[in-house]
Structure 1
Amino acid sequence: MAQKSTTPKVEEKQSLTKYFRGVKREFKRVVWPTKKQLFQYSLIVIFVSIVTALFLYAVDFVFSHIMGLIFGL
């Protein structure tokens, strides 16, 4: 039987090194947003989160009152 020329630890180290080299290459390709875009996107996320929370609160409020009327709670 033929034996592997490298040990599992060496292979693991090589694969980790290869992985992080790939990550570094990909980060160079990323187009990062400007500060203005980042601020705008953050405001949009906060706004949508608040609207979603209010919507879920309203739905919960309506359903809890409907259940209260049905079951007399």
Structure 2
Amino acid sequence: MGFFQKAKKFLKETKSELKKVNWPNKQQLITYTGVVFMTVALVGVYFWILDTGFLGIIQLIIN
């Protein structure tokens, strides 16, 4: 089986598998996107607070 035949078979199988996927509807997509953004924001704020705290501790040690 040549390269192009393998590529064609791969794409055909991929298309078949994509049809089996249970895609979220619009409302689910909006909800899941909001959850992801909020999680990223909360984790970012958590690490910012942690970083600021460590910076303060290190500055106290150095000075």
So what's the TM-score if we normalise by structure 1? 0.83
Q: Percent identity?
A: 29
Aligned-partner residue type, residue 15 of structure 1: K
Query: What's the counterpart of residue 45 of structure 1?
Result: 36
Q: 2:24 aligns with which of 25, 33, 42?
A: 33
Task: Flag structure 2 segments of 5+ consecutive residues without an equivalent.
Answer: none
Structure having the higher Rg: 1
Q: Deviations over 1:21-71 (max 9, x none)?
A: 110000110111011100100110010011011001000000000000011
Runs of 4+ in 1 over 2 A off after TM superposition: none
Higher RCO (C-alpha 8 Å, min separation 6)? 1
If each structure's helix is expressed as a fraction of its own residues, which one has the higher value? Answer: 2
Report the RMSD for the aligned CA atoms in angstroms: 1.0
Task: Flag structure 1 segments of 5+ consecutive residues without an equivalent.
Answer: 1-5
Count of matched residue pairs: 63
So what's the TM-score if we normalise by structure 2? 0.96
